[in-house]
Amino acid sequence: MFMTTCPKIRIVWVLLCVLLLCRNLRASRPNIIFILADDLGWNDVGFHGSGQIPTPNIDALAFSGILLDNYYVTPICTPSRSALMTGKHPIHTGMQHGVLKGAEARGLPLQEKLLPEYLRDLGYRTHIVGKWHLGFYKKEYTPTYRGFESHVGFWTGRHDYNDHTAMESPYWGMDMRRGLQPAWDLHGKYSTDVFTSESVTLIKNHNTTEPLFLYVAHAAVHSGNPYNPLPVPDKEAARFTDISNYNRRRYAGILSKLDQSVGDIVEALRVKGILNNSIIIFSTDNGGPAAGFNLNAASNWPLRGVKNTLWEGGVRGAGLIWYPKFNQPGRVAKQMFHITDWLPTLLTAAGGDVSNLTMDGMSLWNSLEEDTASPRDTILHNIDDEYGNSAITVGKWKLVQGTTYEGTWDGWYGPSGEEWIYNIGAVIGSLVGRAVTALGLNLTSTNIRKLQREVQVNCIWQNRSSSNCNPLVSSCLFNIEDDPCEQNNVASQNPQIVEELRKQILRWNATAVPPGNLIWDPRADPALWDHTWNNFGDYSVEIQSAS
């Protein structure tokens, strides 16, 4: 009907206008650069106050952006990455227990629509650099089949930063790829450098008529293989001879390379002329492996616990969001934010409509921008029936039921870094410091000191060897606002609150799907695949019975 009553010429005009409008919208959408550190502890970033390992570039983003102070991730790699990509809690995708091992024939379920796919719908160009860890046994599970146009990086949970092999005893194979192709040519090139130069090249070659989504998932600061757990260039380690603990010194060098990478990426955005329209997120994936956990040397001080525990040290994440167009950038956000919130939050920032999305994540874009209350007051940290633990925070109350390692990682693990003086000048003078100052942002020592005071964690007892909680005996309740270090179990004084939180965990549990973990598949053995971790499920192979 419309066709017959309307002259063709008008239709052409309408179409043209719609096209132009779409192009303009597309061009004005902000670029999104998501930098995910692996296993970085609460107290490893300088912006939480420690001067032991300088992270001036990361700190400059934090102090000129929004420092997320009430930010929670999940306790370990695969669940966190699944939550980031889907906006769903890992208990709803079967990714809640431990990590995905290289020899498991599973991946993040294919019916899930992922963040890059949503952003593609809005006209974004999408790239991932670095670690995937969401499945690869069939090619359909790998990044370039799941919304990303390109991938230079690795599929398993961690690799050696120089030879790029991943050891998951008894299996051992090379894990570094360009798309589906093994990247043998990168052998000997330090992973952090590989991912930085790939990111810089992608930014340099980006066509600015379209918005960019770049997901940089570093190997750093995860430990490598057992034969060289903390792979650091000698030159970097040598800068930290004042750190007497040998492993911590090597960790400092690895982290320092990560900080320089952040500087180089921001500088590339500046040179390209798109920093002023870019949102940058820097986040850890989970709490730090401290004191030899995973052969690593992170610090979650003064928070309790480590990676893969449900204590604050396992789940309260170091994170920030930076955007020069925020109202009053250079502030601390107290809004409760969960890693599942990134998907709807970033879609909102990109101009998408999230009103019909059904997922656990909530959009906090407006709350962050206007500094108004968070729509969220509850975070389920996890329900893991294999370990027999679960934890939930509702408002200021946190209930912890059971624990991960029979109680062996339930303490407080330093170092505090208190004896080091924080270098504010280095933050202002860093690559990022100069770039954000040139944009007119307020990166002054007065403001930095003010923000540092605001994010300081004050433990009520200041005594890391004491607590009246043993979750193997009974559930513990903490007032996280007053007792962020989880030292004072107040369960016996507040039985109704314990009961209410316990019920909430049961309600979540009723919606959970069972964990998808599988026993190892011998077809995965890299020895069968030219010594690479491969998409073994795409081929039929005869396995000789091992004798």
Ligand X SMILES: *[C@@H]1O[C@H](CO)[C@@H](O)[C@H](O)[C@H]1NC(C)=O
| Residues carrying an active site annotation | 77, 133
Per CB under 6 A, 277 contacts ligand X: yes
| Angstrom distance (rounded) from CA 535 to CA 526 | 10
In the complex, what is the shortest distance from the CB of residue 505 to ligand X, in angstroms, rounded to a whole number?
Answer: 6
* Selected range binding ligand X among 38-46, 130-138, 269-277, 280-288, rule: CB under 6 A: 269-277
Going by DSSP bridges, is the β-strand pair 278-284/31-37 parallel, antiparallel, or unpaired? parallel
Helix, strand and coil in the chain, % to nearest 5: 35, 15, 50
Q: Give the nearer residue to ligand X in terms of CB position, either 378 or 463.
A: 463
How far apart (Å, rounded) are the C-alpha atoms in residues 175 and 159?
Answer: 7
Residue in 309, 150, 160 with CA at minimum distance from that of residue 226: 160
Task: By CB under 6 A, tell whether 268 contacts ligand X.
Answer: no
Asked if 442 touches ligand X (CB under 6 A), the answer is yes
Between CA 382 and CA 384 the distance in angstroms is 6
Residue whose CB is less far from ligand X, 57 or 487: 487
Strand 150-154 and strand 125-131: pairing? parallel
My answer on whether omega of the bond before 170 falls inside 30° of 0, hence cis, is yes
Please select the residue that binds ligand X; options are 185, 234, 353, 542, rule is CB under 6 A: 353
Nearer to ligand X, 181 or 207 (CB): 207
Two structure tokens written together for 156: 């398993």
Instruction: Rank residues 143 and 302 by Cβ distance to ligand X and give the closer one.
Output: 302
Contact pick of 506, 513, 527, 543 for ligand X (by CB under 6 A):
506
Give the C-alpha separation, 303 to 315, whole Å.
10
Return the residue nearest ligand X (CB atom).
466
**DSSP H or E segment with residue 449:** helix 445-455
For residue 356, state whether it binds ligand X (rule: CB under 6 A): yes
Largest CA distance in the chain: 83
- 383 near ligand X (CB under 6 A): yes
Q: What is the DSSP string of 383-436?
A: EETTTTEEEEEETTEEEEES-SSTTTT-SB-----TTSPP-HHHHHHSHHHHHH
> For ligand X, which residue of 117, 163, 371, 385 counts as binding (CB under 6 A)?
385
**Shortest Cβ 356–ligand X spacing (Å):** 4
Sketch the per residue contact string, 204 through 223, with ligand X: x for CB under 6 A, - otherwise.
---x-x--------------
Give the binding range for ligand X (CB under 6 A) out of 90-98, 221-229, 421-429, 501-509. 501-509
- Give the interface segment with ligand X, choosing from 114-122, 307-315, 383-391, 416-424 (CB under 6 A): 383-391
542 touching ligand X, by CB under 6 A = no
How many residues in the shown chain lie near ligand X by CB under 6 A?
Answer: 22
Residue 437 engages ligand X in binding (rule: CB under 6 A): no
Decide: is 241 part of the binding site for ligand X (CB under 6 A).
no
The SS3 call for residue 17 is helix
How far apart (Å, rounded) are the C-alpha atoms in residues 207 and 202?
A: 10
x-marked contacts with ligand X along 443-462 as a string, rule CB under 6 A: -x-xx--x------------
Give the N- to C-terminal CA distance of the chain in Å, as an integer.
75
Write the interaction track for ligand X spanning residues 305-344; mark x where CB under 6 A is met and - where it is not.
Answer: ----------------------------------------
How does 276-308 read in b/e, with b if 16+ C-beta sit within 10 Å? ebbbbbbbbbbbbbbbebbebbbbbbbbbbbbb
Q: Which span (66-74, 259-267, 370-378, 441-449) binds ligand X, by CB under 6 A?
A: 441-449
Burial category of 437 from C-beta neighbours within 10 Å (exposed 0-12, middle 13-18, buried 19 and up): middle
Q: What is the nearest approach in angstroms of ligand X to the Cβ of residue 462?
A: 8
Can you give the length of the chain in residues? 547
Q: Which is nearer to ligand X, 275 or 528 (CB)?
A: 275
Q: Give me the least distance between CB of 509 and ligand X, in Å please.
A: 4
Query: Which amino acid, one-letter code, is at 412?
Result: W
* Interaction between residue 547 and ligand X (CB under 6 A): no
- Tell me the closest approach of the beta carbon of residue 316 to ligand X, in angstroms: 22
Under the rule (CB under 6 A), what is the footprint of ligand X?
207, 209, 273, 276-277, 353, 355-356, 383, 385, 390, 442, 444, 446-447, 450, 463, 465-466, 505-506, 509
